[in-house]
Amino acid sequence: MPSGLLDRLGMSQPLVLAPMSGSSTPALVSAVSRAGGLGSHGVGYLAPQAILDDAAKIRALTDRPFALNLFVLPDEFDEDEAAIDQARASLDALMEREGLAVRTTRPERWAPRFSDQFAALCEARPAVASFTFNLLTPEQMHELRRRDIAIVGNATSLAEVRAWATLGPDAISLQGAEAGGHRGTFLHEPEDAMVGLFALIRLAARAVDIPLIAGGGIMDGRGMAAAEMLGASVAQLGTAFLGCPESAAAAAWKQDIPATEDTRVATIRSFSGRAARGRRNTYVDALEAQAGRLPPYPVMNALTSPLRKAAAAAGRGDLVSEWCGQAAGLARIMPAAELVAILLEEYAQARESLA
């Protein structure tokens, strides 16, 4: 195991908690960090003050290093009024049909300004900052480096790996096609960058001399060891932790995860306006056919927010965005600390077997 990367990221174990925006919590992040891994908190949906508040909560729970993750987005977004009207009509009709007593609203902003979020992240000074959806500017890289914040960029293809490599991050996080949640693709159409994790690791390891974090479909210690054997320095797991009591995933969603069939995991645009991997459910069956006519992220994501909140409160997992990776059926429902202990035991046994 390349000790340099673990030391740089403040880890003693080769395990990263995927930064699951909307599902990660300070309790989940701190549990993984306390166990020697790197807890990552997805803060892409949060306002700047909420980012600072959550960073303080994590520090109150652990003195171990942690990561904050942001979506790299423009500060302002185009508004297609016809697409917005169509989306609102379709969503309102679905909610009425499914018996949910809420309707869409138009928020003051579709999403927080990235520049404000980035400033808050710099003020919070996590040990590690990771970024998805696009590259940082050289100026932003400089701002992080002068605060001694380790930088991790997300890539879904070899071209994206090389693009991040030119900026000199501390590590590159590889998002294989098997990964759950939003696709981080930024140089291609998402369907053109559905590269399997094991292929992506080998391609990236040959192309760049930068430590690699492997994510996508890894649910146990054997998968962690396999990723390492192929050239990754660290394994990143997200879906494996969704069912933990510390996760903010809706209760009904947590119940659905272990029962997810491999053929029911699909690439979905209709929840947020951006390609994401998750479980086909009632919502997806009703709205996905319209995905091409719906507004892009983050507009669609904001419009579906009332429905997702109401569905979660009503125990309707089939109407929330049940993001999950390809191997969701391998999920184990238990507290995060127990899961980390099992994962590391499995990892050690797998390495011993290989030796």
Do 239 and 328 contact (CB within 8 A), yes or no?
yes
pLDDT value of position 3: 60
The residue type of 27 is: A
Q: pTM (2 decimals)? A: 0.96
pLDDT value of position 213: 98
CA–CA separation, 43 vs 55, rounded Å? Answer: 10
pLDDT in 10s for each residue of the chain, 355 residues: 456 888 889 899 999 999 999 999 999 999 999 999 999 999 999 999 999 999 999 999 999 999 999 999 999 999 999 999 999 999 999 999 999 999 999 999 999 999 999 999 999 999 999 999 999 999 999 999 999 999 999 999 999 999 999 999 999 999 999 999 999 999 999 999 999 999 999 999 999 999 999 999 999 999 999 999 999 999 999 999 999 999 999 999 999 999 999 999 999 999 999 999 999 999 999 999 999 999 999 999 999 999 999 999 999 999 999 999 999 999 999 999 999 999 999 999 999 998 8
Instruction: Transcribe 58-100 into DSSP letters.
Output: HHHH-SS-EEEEEE---SS----HHHHHHHHHHHHHHHHHTT-
Do 6 and 12 contact (CB within 8 A), yes or no?
yes
Domains and CATH numbers, the chain: 3-73+111-245+329-354 (3.20.20.70), 78-110+261-323 (no CATH)
Beta strands in 189-273, from DSSP E residues, in sequence order: 212-215, 234-237, 265-268
Q: Please give the distance of CA 56 from its chain centroid, rounded to a whole number.
A: 21
Pairing of strands 276-279, 181-182: antiparallel
For the four alpha carbons of 90, 91, 92 and 95, in that order, the dihedral sign comes to: positive
pLDDT value of position 354: 86
Do 181 and 278 contact (CB within 8 A), yes or no?
yes
Q: Dihedral angle at the C-alpha atoms of 301, 154, 324, 237, nearest 10 degrees?
A: -140
